[in-house]
Structure 1
Amino acid sequence: MNEAGGESELDWVLVLAPFRKDADYIAAFLREQDIAVNHSLIGDDLANHLSLSPGVIVITHEALSASIIAAIGEHLAAQPDWSEVPILVLLERAAPLDRIREHLHRSWPGARLLFHTRPIARLELVNSIQTNLLVRLRQKQVRDAIEREVELRLELNHRIKNILASVTSIFQMTRRGASTVDELAEDFTSRLHALSNVHTAVFEAGGEEASLSSVIAVTVAPYNSDGLSRIKAHGPDVFVSRTTATTIALCLHELTTNAIKYGALSQKDGSVDVAWSISEHDPPTLSLGWVESGGPEVTEPTRQGYGTKYVRSALGALFGSKPEIVFERQGLRCHVVGPLERLK
């Protein structure tokens, strides 16, 4: 088997001819047109040639033996649904075309067969082969598009399931913490709105990573309207995974909700400082902190509410270590640290 041709999007051609003169001649002028070609004198291992998946098969009249026809038939039968390998058959002028055509269609049902009579002009044969190589390229492009669509559907299905699981969890925990139907409706709606904002920010980031600073900015933006900066957020622009960005944003929403009801944001002059930093350790860590000030004097609650439970659980699972949540008199503090690689 001889090989020729450089890197190309187009497939290669397998030439099957029992006589070296025919095989060498066809292969030579195809290579002159920069068409990659392998040629077999039939005595070679045909099954091995076919296993390399030629894009187009050129077969001469003399090569149409029962064993060759059977081997090609097995190869065609094993093709995936998207694949239709073009086969160019070069016949002698006196050959019984109708009988050969009928026999090959029976042996290779559904095959893309093209018949040419010899002698054939080199330009005509080259044009026919190049056209069918383009057909083969289009087939592969369709295959790639279908595979990508399947991947996108599976990814969409997975993400929808995750969102529904989040919504279910939020509802169940909100229900347990609510004392009235109106309180349940208000808190649940607020949390769904926060979830929506987070997913919008992560989606707009594109790809599998999101800018942590951008996601946090979107999360705190509703509380910094009318020229007031009730929540100040600052830290390096680091990219984290979608899951990390979503979880941190939802935890910040819960801390914000608690601050509005009972903490610093319940007072006109109260504020919150959200800061994150990356250590120079090896491996580096990400540290995230929430500090309230200017609010009413804080006392530790007698029971743990939904927000605190969620923050402890979610940040603990995400960072790999439990967050420190302290109800100091001057304001609630929350701090968590974990390996940066874990959050990417």
Structure 2
Amino acid sequence: MSNVEQLSVTTSRLSEYDTLIAAAPSALDAIPGAVYLCDREGWLVRYNSEAAELWGRSPSTGEKRERFCGSHRLFLPDGTPLAHEDCPMATAVLTGEATRNAEVVVERQDGSRFVALVNIRVLRDGHGRIQGAINCFQDVSAQKAMEEEVRRKSADLEDFFENSAVGLHLVNREGIIQRANKAELALLGYTAEEYVGRHIAEFHADPPAIDDILKKLSCGERLDRYPARLRAKDGSIKHVLITSNSRFEEGKFVNTRCFTTDVTGLYEAERARRDSEDRLAATYEAATIGIAEADAEGRLLRVNDAICRMLGRSRDELLNMTFFDYTHEADRAEDAACYARQIRGELDSYVLRKRAQKPDGTTVYLDIHSSSVREASGEFRYGVRVIQDVTAAKRLEDRILESERYMRNLLEALPAAVYTTDAKGRITFYNKAAAEMAGRTPQVGDLWCVTWRLYNPDGSPLPHDECPMAVALKEGRPVRGVEAIAERPDGTRIPFIPYPTPLHDGKGKLIGAINMLVDITERKRAESRQKVLIDELNHRVKNTLATAQSLAGQTARHAESLEDFNRQFEARLLALSRAHSLLTEWQWEDTPLDSLARAVLAPVAGEAAVRITIDGPSVDLNPRAALSFTMALNELATNAVKYGALSSETGTISINWRLAGKRHSMLSLKWRECGGPPVTPPTRRGFGTRLMERCIERDLEGKFDLAFSPDGISCHISIPLAGRHE
């Protein structure tokens, strides 16, 4: 606005407006910003080239000139259409109210939009009369986008800290915990009040460890998976790995950021694994594994005691046999074929499970690990066969298979959508709930997911080979904390949270994955409803503050004294408060007109309220109409108490309304005063009258007719009813 202020310097004979009109047409182009000028009627008389460029058009200033603004269309920042006659320039030239740093959305003829920062100053002549106004505006779309990006990133960072699956806490240089996320608190079982604000050493089971940690961090060293033990609230000890670094400002240590990874389960598993290895070593020392050597024909050359016990035969008996002799007839061909390939050098070794017959006819299951011993020339010398009796294991496997069938039946009965894949992502199983959620019948062998199509939460397509299940299998890790949207073939979309988890066999080899899809449709609807309520609350607060500001300004402008201002302003604020209380009681939904009228009039009229009759059909007003009606009825009632029918002992007021128009789309209300002092028409229109006109005619697009008859004031209000238009 500094450029506008510079242009306002005028000679003693010309006003600011006259100076701008008298200047050359190109004078406004010298201002580094979009500028335009309107006369006192709001007609566009001058604008510079930057304004035309932002508008995307060059409006005429001749006979077919335009009023208030040269833009194609205007909107409020929340997207509500803003008529040109309601824009800030219209307010400036019609009421003399300037605008500082207001934001409006301008739409060009090609449909593109930008956010404009508007500054308007009213131009007056030497007698203070409005001659016009000048508007300096600029495109701040990039700034608004940047502000939104900063807000979003801040929200993302807050969400990352609070909802991270890994424990995270901040510790200041004195060792006091400043903040901890949900995972950290859940790990140790403390509430934020019990954890935050205490010294970190209180929770470490090993004082030397925490002393070493704090010393390293205060010196700027970074900790990477530092092992420590933390004491949980229930007294248990948690084994953790701490990854942390320090934050310094101006060379001074400020605080540390510590990631706490719970490895208690891994620690226990590792301890169990070491115990198992010790037991396994002792078992091998007991020689429970069968070992045999065989020549090229399969004849046994050497056997140990373990294999003799496995087969129920003596050593001499076995050394007079080939291993084909005790092999079950159905398994001989496979073992012979593999052994022949091994002799020829096509296989270095092979693994085979086969059945063997004991002399008593008992069948045992053996796992054969066959390898070769060769001459330096590569010629086959003999085969070494390590043999394990897996009969019990085979029976266990059979039970496991039966258990798997039971588990499949159990998963099938679950109400949650569950499916499994193999290691390559091909679907191997899905339950009925998964098919119902997908809205289709998946095919065994489909890749990655049972759904038809997938989308990210922002609506962008999510390829199946990039879905959470694909990530879990490709990276070999569970995926948590993500959301996605499944689209059914009929077009309906279901937001859900996936829980893909890789599955490994006993050797740690990836064999597939299981995924559970949790439908969060209801949660999303609740979040959406909550956002709508918050947006509505923000909107209501802004409107209320704007209304209060307008009431204060206008009341002060027409008050005769400070005491008069206090009385009038307090009455109007109380009316606004009563309207808000009533709307809150009705949860900011439609309010019955009769309840509204009684709630507004009773406090103003006091004991005289018994002389007020209210009659009319059932009509509900939306919040906007209810607020405007409250202000209008309050002004009428206040005037009646001070000067009208309620100022005497005999005066009465009747309020009645009816529904008019097609489909009862119009409300027609009449206010009639009788029996009061003789009425003399006022010599000037007061703020109360203008306030009522603005509430009814401008805010509600209705009609307001106030008549000062000698026998009493009458008022006719007519407004369209929202939702009843054809």
> Fold-level match, TM-score > 0.5?
yes
Is structure 2 residue 616 aligned with structure 1 residue 235? yes
**Which residue of structure 2 lines up, in the alignment, with residue 69 of structure 1?**
474
Cα deviation 1:204-234 (Å, max 9, x = unaligned): 1124211111111111122554485132211
Contact 1:325 1:335 in 2 (8 A): yes
> Relative to 1, partners in 2 of residues 1:329 and 1:343: Cα closer, same or farther, differing over 3 Å?
farther
Is structure 2 residue 540 aligned with structure 1 residue 159? yes
| Pick aligned residue for 1:31 from 420, 432, 455 | 432
Is structure 2 residue 505 aligned with structure 1 residue 85? no
> Relative to 1, partners in 2 of residues 1:244 and 1:304: Cα closer, same or farther, differing over 3 Å?
same
**Which residue of structure 1 lines up, in the alignment, with residue 714 of structure 2?**
333
| Pick aligned residue for 1:320 from 678, 701, 704 | 701
Please identify, of 199-208 and 187-196, the stretch whose mean Cα deviation from structure 2 is larger. Answer: 199-208
Deviation at 1:309, TM superposition (A): 0.9
Contact 1:205 1:211 in 2 (8 A): no
**Which residue of structure 2 lines up, in the alignment, with residue 182 of structure 1?**
563
Cα deviation 1:171-221 (Å, max 9, x = unaligned): 111111101000001111111111111111111112421111111111112
Equivalent residue of 1:229, what SS?
A: helix
> Relative to 1, partners in 2 of residues 1:280 and 1:158: Cα closer, same or farther, differing over 3 Å?
closer
**Which residue of structure 2 lines up, in the alignment, with residue 205 of structure 1?**
586
What is the letter of the counterpart of residue 86 of structure 1? Y
Contact 1:202 1:242 in 2 (8 A): yes
In the alignment, the residues of structure 2 paired with residue 296 and residue 319 of structure 1 have an alpha-carbon distance, to the nearest angstrom, of: 32
In the alignment, the residues of structure 2 paired with residue 268 and residue 230 of structure 1 have an alpha-carbon distance, to the nearest angstrom, of: 10
Matches within 5 A, 1:272-283: 272-279=653-660, 281-282=662-663
What is the letter of the counterpart of residue 88 of structure 1? T
What is the letter of the counterpart of residue 185 of structure 1? N
Deviation at 1:148, TM superposition (A): 3.7
In the alignment, the residues of structure 2 paired with residue 261 and residue 329 of structure 1 have an alpha-carbon distance, to the nearest angstrom, of: 16
Contact 1:223 1:231 in 2 (8 A): no
Cα deviation 1:125-145 (Å, max 9, x = unaligned): 9xxx7xx55xx35x6665555
Contact 2:608 2:646 in 1 (8 A): no
Is structure 2 residue 666 aligned with structure 1 residue 265? no
What is the letter of the counterpart of residue 306 of structure 1? F
| Pick aligned residue for 1:244 from 602, 609, 625 | 625
Matches within 5 A, 1:7-156: 12-17=417-422, 23=427, 26-27=429-430, 30-31=431-432, 36=437, 39-41=442-444, 49=452, 51=454, 69=474, 85-96=498-509, 136-137=518-519, 143-156=524-537
Deviation at 1:312, TM superposition (A): 1.6
Contact 1:17 1:42 in 2 (8 A): no
What is the letter of the counterpart of residue 626 of structure 2? A
Deviation at 1:293, TM superposition (A): 0.8
Deviation at 1:83, TM superposition (A): 7.1
In the alignment, the residues of structure 2 paired with residue 65 and residue 233 of structure 1 have an alpha-carbon distance, to the nearest angstrom, of: 69
Q: Which runs of 5+ in 1 are unaligned?
A: 1-9, 54-63, 101-114, 117-124
Contact 1:298 1:328 in 2 (8 A): yes
What is the letter of the counterpart of residue 421 of structure 2? L
Aligned residues: 287
> Relative to 1, partners in 2 of residues 1:206 and 1:225: Cα closer, same or farther, differing over 3 Å?
same
> Relative to 1, partners in 2 of residues 1:255 and 1:32: Cα closer, same or farther, differing over 3 Å?
closer
In the alignment, the residues of structure 1 paired with residue 502 and residue 653 of structure 2 have an alpha-carbon distance, to the nearest angstrom, of: 78
Deviation at 1:284, TM superposition (A): 3.1
In the alignment, the residues of structure 2 paired with residue 33 and residue 312 of structure 1 have an alpha-carbon distance, to the nearest angstrom, of: 61
Identity, in percent, stands at 27
Deviation at 1:343, TM superposition (A): 8.2
In the alignment, the residues of structure 2 paired with residue 143 and residue 173 of structure 1 have an alpha-carbon distance, to the nearest angstrom, of: 45
In the alignment, the residues of structure 2 paired with residue 164 and residue 319 of structure 1 have an alpha-carbon distance, to the nearest angstrom, of: 19
> Relative to 1, partners in 2 of residues 1:45 and 1:143: Cα closer, same or farther, differing over 3 Å?
closer
User: Could you tell me the TM-score, scaled by structure 2's length?
Assistant: 0.35
Cα deviation 1:228-259 (Å, max 9, x = unaligned): 51322111121120111111111000011111
Deviation at 1:86, TM superposition (A): 0.3
Deviation at 1:336, TM superposition (A): 1.9
In the alignment, the residues of structure 1 paired with residue 471 and residue 533 of structure 2 have an alpha-carbon distance, to the nearest angstrom, of: 45
In the alignment, the residues of structure 2 paired with residue 146 and residue 324 of structure 1 have an alpha-carbon distance, to the nearest angstrom, of: 45
What is the letter of the counterpart of residue 498 of structure 2? V
Contact 2:483 2:498 in 1 (8 A): no
Structure showing greater radius of gyration is 2
In the alignment, the residues of structure 2 paired with residue 312 and residue 227 of structure 1 have an alpha-carbon distance, to the nearest angstrom, of: 26
In the alignment, the residues of structure 2 paired with residue 246 and residue 42 of structure 1 have an alpha-carbon distance, to the nearest angstrom, of: 63
User: Could you tell me the TM-score, scaled by structure 1's length?
Assistant: 0.69
Cα deviation 1:57-88 (Å, max 9, x = unaligned): xxxxxxx9999738x999997859x9752013
What is the letter of the counterpart of residue 474 of structure 2? I
CA RMSD between the two structures: 4.1
Equivalent residue of 1:301, what SS?
A: coil
Cα deviation 1:111-161 (Å, max 9, x = unaligned): xxxx98xxxxxxxx9xxx7xx55xx35x66655554444333222111111
Is structure 2 residue 586 aligned with structure 1 residue 216? no
In the alignment, the residues of structure 2 paired with residue 32 and residue 277 of structure 1 have an alpha-carbon distance, to the nearest angstrom, of: 56
In the alignment, the residues of structure 2 paired with residue 36 and residue 342 of structure 1 have an alpha-carbon distance, to the nearest angstrom, of: 37
Bigger RCO of structures 1 and 2 (CA < 8 A, at least 6 apart)? 1
**Which residue of structure 1 lines up, in the alignment, with residue 681 of structure 2?**
300
Please identify, of 185-194 and 277-286, the stretch whose mean Cα deviation from structure 2 is larger. Answer: 277-286
In the alignment, the residues of structure 2 paired with residue 297 and residue 65 of structure 1 have an alpha-carbon distance, to the nearest angstrom, of: 86
Contact 2:628 2:696 in 1 (8 A): yes
Deviation at 1:341, TM superposition (A): 3.3
In the alignment, the residues of structure 2 paired with residue 226 and residue 261 of structure 1 have an alpha-carbon distance, to the nearest angstrom, of: 14
Equivalent residue of 2:610, what SS?
A: coil
In the alignment, the residues of structure 1 paired with residue 660 and residue 554 of structure 2 have an alpha-carbon distance, to the nearest angstrom, of: 34
In the alignment, the residues of structure 2 paired with residue 68 and residue 304 of structure 1 have an alpha-carbon distance, to the nearest angstrom, of: 78
Equivalent residue of 2:685, what SS?
A: coil
**Which residue of structure 1 lines up, in the alignment, with residue 670 of structure 2?**
289
Is structure 2 residue 553 aligned with structure 1 residue 172? yes
What is the letter of the counterpart of residue 69 of structure 1? K
Contact 1:264 1:292 in 2 (8 A): yes
In the alignment, the residues of structure 1 paired with residue 641 and residue 686 of structure 2 have an alpha-carbon distance, to the nearest angstrom, of: 14
Bigger proportion of residues as helix: 1
What is the letter of the counterpart of residue 502 of structure 2? V
> Relative to 1, partners in 2 of residues 1:304 and 1:67: Cα closer, same or farther, differing over 3 Å?
closer
In the alignment, the residues of structure 1 paired with residue 563 and residue 655 of structure 2 have an alpha-carbon distance, to the nearest angstrom, of: 31
In the alignment, the residues of structure 1 paired with residue 676 and residue 496 of structure 2 have an alpha-carbon distance, to the nearest angstrom, of: 69
What is the letter of the counterpart of residue 603 of structure 2? P
Contact 2:482 2:497 in 1 (8 A): no
